[in-house]
Amino acid sequence: MLFNSYLFILVFLPISFFVYFGLNKIKLSIAAKAWLVLASLFFYGYWNLVYIPLIVGSILFNYAAGTLITRKKDRPAHKRAYLVGGIAGNLILLGYFKYMDFFISNINLIASSNIPLLHIVLPLGISFFTFTQIAYLVDTARGIAREYSFLNYALFVTFFPHLLAGPIIHHKEMMPQFDRLRNKIITHKHIAQGLTLFFIGLFKKVVIADTLVPYVNIGFDHTASLTFIESWVTSLCYTFQLYADFSGYTDMALGSSLLFNIKLPVNFNNPYRAVDIQDFWRRWHITLGRFMRDYLYIPLGGSKVSEPRLLFNAFIIAFIVGIWHGAGWTFVAWGLLHGMGLVIYRLWLKQPWRLPNFFAWFFTFNLVHIGAVFFRAKTFTDIVKFVKGMCGLSGIILPEALAPHLSVLKQYGIGFGRTMAAIGGDEKLIFKLALFSIPLLFFPTSNEIADKLKPAWGIAIIVSLIAIYAIFNLQNATEFIYFNF
């Protein structure tokens, strides 16, 4: 079930909300939690009922592993064995569904074999609920998480706002909220903040991200070559689409959760304003960065290792981040591109000079922006197509209106005509990108707007107009990008 659907907005969310608080009102708090678990499983299985046994099996496995780790807290060797076994079980599940066909195709390529692919359908949200449960097992082994109630654990994993595409949560930050008495009654402030967040996210998704989808799809999937302007515009379209789509989803997730008085962790903080690549990763997909820091970077030595080891660790993490996003070498290349950026940045810090903020931002944004081409491309041929286009090697076409003034450029192979014919765009697309860049680059974050929200008729009218406009455009809605991860 999509957040950006009439079924979710007008049926599923209201029913889930009123039944949950209705049960809490008559002191049936256990039944209220059970209702949320059942509602979340319905939400998850709406696409395909086959997914439900998978996630239930994963929950049972990890709850059992966590219980065994807790019971063996005074026997370190046993506790470690159960932890390793639990993590291995999660990685095997993720590896089978997400990477088995990728592994087979690479074996076939290297060994010139013909092993048939399994054509495994990737279960929704498996990357997210797998990492969430790995974090739980590690936190349990560290003594900072403990769960004796299976119902509570099932709710922790399945709670529908974060289930399909994050944020990646910790047990200790979410589950205590369900047991606070004040969180079991309807809170009007949270309703106002939650609806504001939800509809800002819906607006980002429907009005910004989905508007750019046609140009992105044509440019990446249906053209053999792109001119200079076409390649840069298409890549910028995807850069804005990716952020508006994923941050829009996160806004809707946080907003939905806040209706139930549950605060999920912030996942974005204006990442396109970053002035270095490290700053970018502190702002983009924050909970994934936190996971990598707490469960990989620090165990590898953190900042206490030698400089060469630290740079090597950065590449290892970049590789894992890349392959986590998708079973393909283009994702690995995207991760390693960011890893290279992190290495160069750390080496740059050793120099006595610094770039002015604007130039630091400009270089960072373009690293991220060019990296988005690797992220979206299905093959390295697509990447080469964009690199050639961005370097002007596939032709440069300027607007026809400039021909009388710049005709001298024709002798250098520069043409004049429709600048974005291959992707079906025109000069209005440039205006759209400029318009969309304003809130993404200059406005406060959605969370800042919601946190500072003060009830007023003006605010209510603005949010209502945003909601109405977004809802009336739902017929053109597409799936969220991160549903595929």
| Catalytic annotation, residues | 325
Residue 461 tokens, joined: 């009218």
Rounded Cα distance, 292 and 259, in Å: 29
DSSP 345-399: HHHHTTSS----HHHHHHHHHHHHHHHHHHHH-SSHHHHHHHHHHHTTTT-EEEE
Terminal-to-terminal C-alpha distance of the chain: 16
- Kindly compute the dihedral angle of the four CA atoms of residues 285, 290, 292, 294, in this order, to the nearest 10 degrees: -170
Q: Which amino acid is at 441?
A: L
Under 8 Å between Cβ of 363 and 355: yes
Under 8 Å between Cβ of 4 and 477: yes
CA dihedral sign of residues 195, 155, 1, 100: positive
3-state DSSP assignment of residue 118: coil
DSSP 151-186: HHHHHHHH-HHHHTT-----HHHHHHHHT-GGGGS-
